[in-house]
Chains A and B, each alone.
Chain A
C-alpha cells in the first residue's frame, strides 16, 4: 500500500468518526430545538425523518472511519509500538481510532433511536 494511502486511512480513521458525530450532535440538537420552538412551529419540519436520515448518514461515516482505521492497523500490524514515525505513529493512531469510532457509533445510534422514539416536544 502506498504511503499516502496509508496516511489518508489513518487520518480519516482518527478524525472522520469524531467529526461525523459532531455533525449529528449539532444538527440533531438544532432540528429538535427548532422543531419545538416558536419559529419552528411556522416551518413544516419532518423532525423524525430528518433525524433518521442524519443518524444513518453520520453512522455510516463512523463505520467507514472504523474500517479505515482497521485497514491501517492491519497494514502496520508488524510494526513495534515504539517504532519511529511514520509507521510507528500510524500504528499508534490506528489503534486509538479503533477505540474512538466504537464509542462514536454507540452515541450516534443512541441519539438516532431516542430522537425518533421520544414524543416530540414533550418536556422530560
Chain B
C-alpha cells in the first residue's frame, strides 16, 4: 500500500478502521472478538502454562538427578508428574497450536477478515482459561491430579484414590474439552466457508490443511475422552459401574476410550507443527513445496489412520494377538504419510536455494528429532519389542523426542518467523541462532539418555531409584540437560522481549513468504485486508499480478466491503462466492458464559449438584442473551 493512499482508497480504509476498531484498554481485551487479539490471549496464557509445566519437569528432574533422594516425596511427585503431562498436553500445546497460531494465522492465510464465529472464538479462550484455573486450583488444596496423565482405573477409582485429585482431573478435562471442541469447530467452518473467492482446495496453503486435519481429529477424538471422564465421575460420585469387572464392567474400557482419544491427540499435537514447518520451508528454501498434493493428503492421512492405532498403547494388557494385529498393521502404515512429508521437505530445501536463518534451523532440528522419535515409535509397532519396553523410560524418550522435538521446535521456529508480522519488529538473528543451539543441545542431552536408561530397565513414574542399578549417570546427565534446555528457552524469551524493546522495524514482508499474511502491514490492521485478495495459487504473495489486481480493485471499491463488519462466504469445494457475512462487534457475552460455567464446574467438583444445575441454567440464559444480540444487519 502507498504511504499516502489516493482519495477513494483512503475513504475505504477510514471506513474499515472505524467499523472494525475495538474499545481501548482492558475492557477491550475482555470483550474482544478479533481473532488476532484472541490468538495473543491464547499465546500468553499458554506460555504461562508452559512455564508451569516446565517447572514441574525441573522439579522432577532435580529429584531424579541422583539415586535415593528425598527432595520431593512420593505423593508430591505423583502430583507433579501427572500435572506435568496434563499441563503440557491440554493447557500448553493444543491451545498454543490451535488457539494461538491457528486463530491468528488461518483467517489471514485464507484471505478472510476473522474466524467464522468471532464470539464463539472468544468463548473458547475464556473457557480454556477457566478450565486451567480450575485444574490448577487443585494445587491450592494439595489435591492435584495424581494418577498419571492417563489416569488409569482401577487406581483412579474412589477406593484407591479417594480425595478430590481425580475429580479435578475428570471434571477439568471435560470442561477444557468444551473449549477445544468449540475451537476446532470454528477452525473447520472458517476453512470450509470463509476462504477468499477463488481459493479452491488446491490453492489453500498447507498450514491450513494441517489445521483442518487437527481440527477434524479433535471433533472425532474428544468425545471418547468426555465419555470416559463422565463414566469415571458417575462411578466415583454416584456409584455407577463401568470399570469394575465384578459388576459386569471392564477395567480395560477406560484404556480403550482413553486411547481412542489419546492417540489421535498426539497427531493433533504434531499436525500444526507440520503446518508450521510447511510454511517456513518454502519461504527459506525460496521454492514451492515439492509434491504439494501428496503433502496435503499426508497430513489428512496421518490424522485419519491415527484413529485406527489406539490399542498399540495396550499391547501389554493380554488382549489376543488376532485383535492386536489390526492395530499393529495400522501403526506400521501410519508412518508412511509422515515419511512422505519428510522426503518432500528435504527435497524442497535441496532443490531450492536455502537461507539458514533461525526459523529454518529450528525446522532442521525438528526434522532430526522427528526422525529419531519416529524410529523409536515404529519400533513399538512390533508387539514383542513393545511388551519388553512398555512403561520404561524408552517410551518417555520416544514421546519427548516427538512432543518436544517434533511439536515444540516448530513452535519455537514459528515464534521467530511470525514475530515480525505480529509485532512489526525484527528479532535479533544472531541471538536467535544461539538460542537454537542451546535449546537443541539441552533437548538432546535431556531426552537421548532416556533411551538407554529405559533399555537398562528404569521404569516410568518412579520418584526415586536405588544405587547400583547403573542408572545414576544417565539421570544426572538428563537433569543437567533439563537445566540447559530451560536456559535455551529462557534465552528465546529474552531475545523476544529484547527485540520487542529495541523495535527495529521489520516491514510488511521481511522473509518474502508465500502466504497472504505477508501482504498485510505488520502488525495487520483490525480488518486484515482492505480488499478481499485475488487468489490463483497456494503462494499468493508470490503472485505479483494478483497483488497488483488487488490495488486496482481497492481503487474501484471492488470487494472492499466497508459498509459493515463484513467478510465474504464462499462454497466449500471451489470457493465460489455465496454470501456476504455480517460479523458481530465486541461482546461481553463470551466471558460471562465462561464465568457461569466455571462456577458450575466448581460446584460439581464439591458435589453441590442442585446449585450446579442452577448455574448451568444461568449459562443457558446467558447464551440466550448472546443469541438475542444479532450482528448488525446491513441494508442491502
Using CB atoms and an 8 Å cutoff, list the residues of chain A in contact with chain B.
18, 21-22, 25, 28-29, 32-33, 35-36, 47, 81-86, 88-89, 91-93, 95-97, 99-100, 103, 106-107, 110-111, 114-115, 118-124
Contacts and interface: CB of A to CB of B under 8 A. Distances in A.
Interface in B303-319: 304-305, 308, 315, 318-319
A18 B330 CA distance: 12
A100 B304 CA distance: 10
A124 B574 contact: no
Given A103-B337, A111-B325, A95 B294 contact: yes
Interface string B183-200: 000000000000000101
B326 A25 contact: yes
Interface range on chain B: under 10, 10 to 19, 20 to 34, or 35 or more?
35 or more
Of A81, A91, A107, A124, chain B has the most CB atoms within 10 Å of the CB of A124
Nearest to A7: B573
A13 B383 CA distance: 33
B321 A103 contact: no
A72 to B, nearest CB: 13
Nearest to A18: B304
B143 to A, nearest CB: 37
A18 B216 CA distance: 15
Given A18-B304, A124-B315, A86 B573 contact: yes
Contacts of A89: 200-202, 573-574
Contacts, number: 128
B204 to A, nearest CB: 10
B297 A82 contact: no
Given A88-B200, A89-B573, A95 B293 contact: yes
Interface of B: 198, 200-203, 292-294, 296-298, 300-301, 304-305, 308, 315, 318-326, 328-330, 332-333, 336-337, 340, 383-384, 387, 536-538, 573-576
Nearest to B384: A124
B322 A120 contact: yes
A96 B330 contact: no
Contacts of A103: 301, 305, 333, 336-337
Contacts of A83: 202
B320 A120 contact: yes
Contacts of A93: 201-202
Given A89-B573, A93-B201, A122 B294 contact: no
B260 to A, nearest CB: 11
A122 B293 CA distance: 42
5 contacts: A25-B308, A82-B536, A82-B537, A115-B322, A120-B320
